[in-house]
Amino acid sequence: MYVGRFAPSPTGPLHFGSLVAALASWLDARSMHGRWLVRIEDLDRPREQAGAAAEILRTLERFGLYWDEPVLFQSARTELYRFALEALRDHTYWCGCTRREIADSAGMAADGAKIYPGTCRAGLPAGKPPRALRLKASQRVLFHDRAQGPQDQDVAAAIGDFVLYRADGQFAYQLAVVVDDAEQSVTDIVRGADLLDSTARQIHLQRLLGHRQPRYLHVPMAVNAAGAKLSKQSGAPPLEVSKKEELLRQALVFLGQAPTENLADAIRKWDPSRIPAARTRYLA
């Protein structure tokens, strides 16, 4: 059975970019008579906004995007992430590099992150405390994205050895999302194209952990006139429920679909092949 999911972080209210991702995921699941899950990715406590998770869930309900199982919160699942780290023991090592040291010696990855140069792969330098547990990147990953087409990434060259866990107790997004998708039997991941460059890392982890690889569909990311992703940081306004019909039509047009405020009609007409094969789209 098709199982999809929407996994927002509770760092603020949903905005138009969030609606595009949630709606695409929901429509894809409903058009396949599948299940649709909601997961709150609340591992980054310093960035979490009080009350944001509850507000996100209320907004989804008000827009008619209902889920099929109890909402999962990542903060309650840390033991599962620890088990995964143990399973990956032979593929990880402790790194003592500071952010400044990495910035001074590393190149830039496609998603703006620094490519880790492998400084601590042979062992922690004398006197350096462990700061992060890294996975040894060793795979070239090829996969087909249903919207963006063929993808090819040499993880070692493009990203380098990446962080799974920090010494302060924080689990990395890449690890948590792979564990949760497997535990929830997710078959299809529909999300924004800002996460496309993370997918190869996640497939790398899926292979090492023996998990089934889901299908992927990355929809264009909504950007403002300056080319910045719509977000709380870029000043994107929260969704107004009073404008629900207008926003649903606008989101469908953004996704290349026929405009309608009727969700049943949108399900019948959902056609993933019409989603633009672009990483970003300007929201006028």
Span 154-165, average pLDDT: 94
How far apart are the C-alpha atoms of 38 and 248, rounded to whole Å?
19
Q: φ and ψ at 202, to 5 degrees? A: -70, -40
Residue 106, pLDDT above cutoff 60: no
- Chain centroid to Cα 26, Å, comes to 15
pLDDT for residue 229:
77
Span 132-138, average pLDDT: 95
pLDDT for residue 247:
96
Residues 6+ apart with CB under 8 A from 146: 215, 216, 217, 272
Residue 284's pLDDT band (cuts 50, 70, 90): low
Residue 243, pLDDT above cutoff 90: yes
Residue 223, pLDDT above cutoff 90: no
pLDDT for residue 102:
82
pLDDT for residue 233:
66
End-to-end CA distance of the chain: 38
Residue 281, pLDDT above cutoff 90: no
pLDDT for residue 235:
65
Residue 234, pLDDT above cutoff 70: no
pLDDT for residue 109:
63
Sorted by where each starts, the structural domains of the chain and their CATH numbers stand as: 3-77+183-282 (3.40.50.620), 81-166 (3.90.800.10)
Residue 114, pLDDT above cutoff 90: no
How far apart are the C-alpha atoms of 20 and 227, rounded to whole Å?
17
How far apart are the C-alpha atoms of 188 and 147, rounded to whole Å?
13
pLDDT for residue 105:
65
Residue 67, pLDDT above cutoff 90: yes
**Mean pLDDT estimate for the chain:** 93
DSSP E strand boundaries for the chain: 3-6, 35-40, 72-73, 92-95, 107-108, 114-115, 132-135, 140-145, 149-154, 162-166, 188-192, 215-219, 221-223, 280-282
Residue 184's pLDDT band (cuts 50, 70, 90): very high
The pTM of this model reads 0.94
Span 124-134, average pLDDT: 92
Residue 236, pLDDT above cutoff 80: no
Q: Which residue has the tokens 């970019």?
A: 17
- Give the model confidence (pLDDT) of 12-45 as tens digits: 999 999 999 999 999 999 999 999 999 999 998 8
Is the pLDDT higher at 135 or at 98?
135
pLDDT for residue 85:
98
DSSP letters, 131-155, are -EEEE----EEEEEETTTEEEEEEH
pLDDT for residue 129:
94
Residue of 226, 238, 211 lying closest to 282 (CA atoms): 226
Phi-psi category of residue 74: left, alpha or beta, with phi > 0 → left and psi -120 to 50 → alpha: alpha
- Give the model confidence (pLDDT) of 85-103 as tens digits: 999 999 999 999 988 888 7
Residue 208's pLDDT band (cuts 50, 70, 90): very high
